[in-house]
Structure formats: structure tokens, C-alpha cells
Amino acid sequence: MERWLFITIDTEEDEWGSYGTRHPAVENLKNIRLLQDILRKHDAVPTYLIDYPVATDGYGIRLLRSMMENGQCDIGTHCHPWNTPPYVEAPGKHNSLLCNLPENLVGEKLQNVHDAIVKNFGIRPLVFRAGRWGIGRAVLESLQKLGYEIDTSIRPFTPGQGLTRTAPVLLSNSPFWMEAEGGCGETAAGSGCRNPGARRLMEIPPSIGFLQKDFERCYRIRRSLRSYWAGRCVALLLKGARIINPVWLSPEYCGSSSEMIALTKSMIRNGHTILNLFFHSTTLLPGKTPYVRTQGDLRSFLKKIDEYLAFASRENIRCIGMSGARDLVVRATAAGSPIPVRSPFAGGGGRRWGASHERPIRRISKAS
């Protein structure tokens, strides 16, 4: 059975947790070559999801466009609203989430970062991730208008999507087609969609799960325990006893490559064939994020990636750019494994986006 790995990198400015700088530095891009040396050794093609400061930076354009044209990377889109024009909203935590902005402003910001990539890289980007996971209905509809095919913003088994407590929780790592307003099909023409002619978006979640087999059961137990103080202590004890171990497939959140490898094995046991490893380019510049503070931390960070990719190579897990994911879906469908259709924003208050069984298709709600 074929297995595939995507490495999706939020490629962005140096500032971490700051919302006031409209023209920030992007010095972390100078360390991308350290990462590329490791990726090239393992024939891995990453997907750099670039935001507006990177898409308009001279050095970033030369570096990333050269790698893209040589087949060494894929390019997609990332958006931090506070440093993407037009600059009309007040900077702050609430407005740092794209989904919290007015619908017309969401569309303008996405249009501007999209146009910058088209102009400076000579491509039409197909893959998107919202900054700070701030995905919502207006964001999805704008992405459809712009011709995007893949979103990778929805975290499974993680309450508080987009830093809110009202979004439903995704209970699956599997890719799925997102049902759009009006019940869009593969194309929206004639379907009554708000965006006639738009192609349906496919969601490829970042890989998040547990070392234990039953991800959904582990999530529900951990969620119930973490709702009160004593329960949170019990959850920590269960993690220490290796009874319930949540893991994100990211060198930022994993202390060692062995954790990432263990999660991958757990996902494979659950039948997953697509994996999505993720992190931030800012982490490549020591001192800019909590994950890498020193040069020694950077060496350890890169070593985790190197060791994980060596494992992936041994297991015949192939790493390609995410823009090619639709081709994989077509092949899976032809082989009798169709990708399910789900409507992620049909509910809230802890309701789930996608369970392991099919449910009736519902429209995206007006509230996101």
C-alpha cells in the first residue's frame, strides 16, 4: 500500500506573538538552506506556505522561487491578517484570526497575498493554511473564489480551533471534501452555490493523534478529564503511564523523533495512508520561538527531522508537495477508496466535524 507524507511549513516573518508590525523582518529564511540539505538527502519535497511579508521579500522570492523551479519545493499560501493589506482592522489577538474579520476584508486580504504569489512566483497557488488556525466559512468561500483546491487548517482532536471554544472538533486525520454552501459537487456550477464554478475544497488535516489505537476514545477521555483541575492531573498521570499520549506530528511539539515515529506507526495501524508533518519557518532562527532558543536547539531540531525522514524512507513513505494531493485522491477513488464529504462548520459547541462513519451532508452554517 502506498503511503504519502506532506511537510507543510508556515513560512513567515520573524516576529512571534506580535500583531503590530506591518513590515516585519524575515531573517529566518536564510536558514531554510540548512533544512533543504536534509530534505534533499531524503528526496523529500516540502510545501512552503508563504505569507505576505515572505511573498513580497526580495531574498525570499529569489530563494523560494529558485527552489520551486528546480523541483525542490512546492509553494502554497499562508495568511497573517495583521501584516497583510489592507490594514484597516485594529491589531490584537481577536483580529489576528482571519475568521474573525468581516467577510469583505477576508476576501481583500486573501486576494492580496494570492496576487503577490502569482506575481512574484509565476504560479497559481493551490494550497492554503490560515495563520493561527483561524479558518471559517468566509475564508473557505474566498479560497474557492480564488481557485484553491486544498486547505490544511483544521486540527483534529484539538478543541478551540482558531482559538475559539465554539468550533466543533474534528475527530479524524483522514482527508475529506468540504461541502460548500448550497451542496456543491466536484464543481459548483449549477448547484446553487454562492460561488458558481468553484471547485470543492479538500481538507488535509495536520497529523495529530495518540500513540494508542483508538484515537477518538482517547480524545473523549482526555477531554472529559481536562474539564476540571483534578482531572487535568489525572490526564498528566495517564500520559506519563503511556495510557493516553496525545502527539502532534511536528518537531516543534515532539521532544524526539521517536515520538513522531511512534505516532506515524499508530496512524498506519489505524489505516491512514496520508501524513502531514508541520512546523514554522521562524523556528529555524534561534531565539524567535519557544521551540528553538539556541544554536544547539536548532541542531537538535534539524536532527529530529533528519531521523524522522530516514524512518519514512525505510518505510517507503514518499514525501511530495501538497499541490499534488488531488491526484492521489483521484487514484484512491479509482481504487475504490473514495474520500468522504463532510461539512465542517455545520455545528458548534463541541460537536464534531468528522467521525469514522458517514453522516448526512449538511451545509456550512452562517456562523463561523
- For the chain, what are the domain ranges? 3-207+272-342
Query: Cell digits for 258?
Result: 521517536
Residue (of 233, 236, 248, 224) closest to 350 by Cα position: 224
Q: What is the phi-psi region of residue 122: left when phi exceeds 0, alpha when psi lies from -120 to 50, beta otherwise?
A: left
Query: 327: exposed, middle or buried (C-beta count within 10 Å: 0-12, 13-18, 19+)?
Result: exposed
* Mean pLDDT of the region 280-292: 98
pLDDT tens string 61-70 = 999 999 999 9
> In sequence order, what DSSP letters do the residues of 168-230 get, joined into one string?
PBB---S-EEEP-TTT--SB-TTTT-SSTTPBPEEE----EEESSS-HHHHHHHHHHHTTSHH
For 3-207+272-342, the fitting CATH number among 3.20.20.370, 3.40.50.2300, 3.40.640.10, 3.40.50.720 is 3.20.20.370
What is the pTM assigned to this prediction? Answer: 0.88
pLDDT at 232 over 70: no
Average pLDDT, the chain: 85
Q: Is the dihedral of CA 215, 164, 348, 98 positive or negative?
A: negative
Q: What is the enclosing helix (H) or strand (E) of 107? A: helix 103-121
Return the top range by mean pLDDT from 107-111, 194-198, 235-239, 240-244.
107-111
Cell of 365: 452554517
Cis amide linkage into residue 86, ω under 30° from 0 = yes
Nearest to 347, CA basis, from 332, 334, 357, 360: 360
The pLDDT value given to residue 326: 83
Which neighbouring-strand residues pair with 279?
Answer: 9
Cell numbers that stand for 150 in this block: 486544498
